[in-house]
């Protein structure tokens, strides 16, 4: 187990799920399953098992910025 820095721990399966989800965004940052976060213009999140990966992506840009992946109970704080 590795500390996530977000008040939780990452296990090997969780890391693999997050990495797969992030790699999938390379092809389409607005893929099925991504949700826009309320109160932000360009911040979205994807689910990766029990983890959430918030990210920012503009429609005219090819840059995706990952903010702070972590467990649901901690990631939005």
Q: What is the pLDDT of residues 29-48, one digit of tens each?
A: 888 888 998 888 888 888 88
Contact 47, 32 (CB under 8 A): no
Q: What is the pLDDT of residue 61?
A: 61
Q: Which domain holds residue 69?
A: 2-75
Instruction: Give the domain CATH number at 58.
Output: 3.30.2310.20
Give the pLDDT score at 41: 84
Contact residues for 55 (Cβ-Cβ < 8 A; gap 6+): 25, 29, 43, 44, 45, 46, 64, 65, 66, 67
Helix (H) or strand (E) holding 3: strand 2-3
How many domains does the chain divide into? 1
Confidence of residue 4 (pLDDT cuts 50, 70, 90): very low
CB contact at 8 A, 40 and 57 = no
pTM value is 0.65
């Amino acid at each position: 187990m590795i500390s996530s820095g977000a008040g939780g721990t990452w296990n090997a399966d969780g890391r693999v799920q997050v990495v797969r989800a992030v790699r999938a965004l390379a092809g389409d940052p607005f893929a099925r399953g991504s949700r826009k976060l309320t109160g932000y213009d360009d911040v979205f999140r994807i689910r990766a098992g029990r983890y959430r990966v918030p990210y920012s992506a503009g429609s005219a840009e090819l840059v995706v910025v990952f903010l702070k992946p972590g467990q649901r109970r901690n990631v939005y704080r």
